[in-house]
Amino acid sequence: MTPSPVAPGAAAEFLAAHPPFDALDAAELAALAALAEVEEHAAGATVLAEGAAPPAHLRVVRTGAVEIVHDGRVLDLLGPGELLGHAPMLAGLPLGFTAVARGATTCLRLPGPAVRDLLGRPAGLRYVTRSLLAPPRTDLGTPDPAQRPVGELLRAPLCTAEESTTVREAARRMTACGASAVVVPIGHGRVGILTDRDLRTVVADGVDASATPLREAMTAPAWTAAADRLGGEVLLDMLDRGVSHVPVLGAGGELLGVLEDVDVVAATTRSSVGLRTRIARARDVDEVVAAARELTPTIVALHDARVAPADIAGITSVVADAVTRRLIELATPEAPPRPLTWLALGSLARREAVPSSDVDSALVWVGPEDDPVAAAHARDLAARVMAGLAAAGFRADANGAVATNPLFARSYEAWAAAARSWLHDPTQEKAPILVSLVVDARPVWGARQNPAVPDVFRDARRHPDLLRLLGRYALAHRPPTGFLRDFVVEHSGRRRGRLDLKRGGLVPIVDLARWAGMAAGVTGASTPARLRAAAAAGTLPAAAAATLEEAFHLVLGLRLAHQVDQLRAGEDPDDLVRPADLSAVTRASLREAFRAVASVQRRISAELDLGMR
Phi, psi dihedral angles at 434 (to 5 degrees): -65, -40
- Contact call for residues 108 and 32 (beta carbons, < 8 A): no
Q: Mean pLDDT by 10-residue block, N- to C-terminus, for the chain (613 residues)?
A: 84 88 87 93 89 87 85 73 80 77 90 79 54 35 58 82 93 85 88 88 82 91 86 74 85 84 50 68 92 88 77 87 92 83 92 94 87 89 95 92 92 87 84 86 74 71 82 80 50 66 90 90 85 89 90 93 93 89 80 84 78 50
CA separation for the pair 111, 430 (Å, rounded): 61
List pLDDT tens digits, range 541-594: 998 898 899 999 999 999 999 999 999 999 999 999 888 788 877 877 888 888
Residue 121 has a CB neighbour count (10 Å cut-off) of 16
Q: Is 398 exposed, middle or buried (0-12, 13-18, 19+ CB in 10 A)?
A: exposed
Radius of gyration (Cα) for the chain, nearest Å? 26
Residue 32 to residues 5, 14, 36, 88, Cα–Cα distance (Å): 13, 12, 7, 21
- Contact call for residues 360 and 437 (beta carbons, < 8 A): yes
- Contact call for residues 138 and 100 (beta carbons, < 8 A): no
Beta-strand runs (E) in 8-131: 37-41, 46-48, 57-70, 73-78, 83-84, 98-111
Give me the pLDDT at residue 120, please.
61
Residue 581: which of 487, 492, 509 has the closest Cα? 487
Q: In angstroms, how far is the first alpha carbon of the chain from the final one?
A: 68
CA separation for the pair 348, 363 (Å, rounded): 15
Report the DSSP beta bridge partners of residue 577: 499
Give me the pLDDT at residue 591, please.
82
Residue 308: which of 345, 266, 268 has the closest Cα? 268
- Contact call for residues 29 and 126 (beta carbons, < 8 A): no
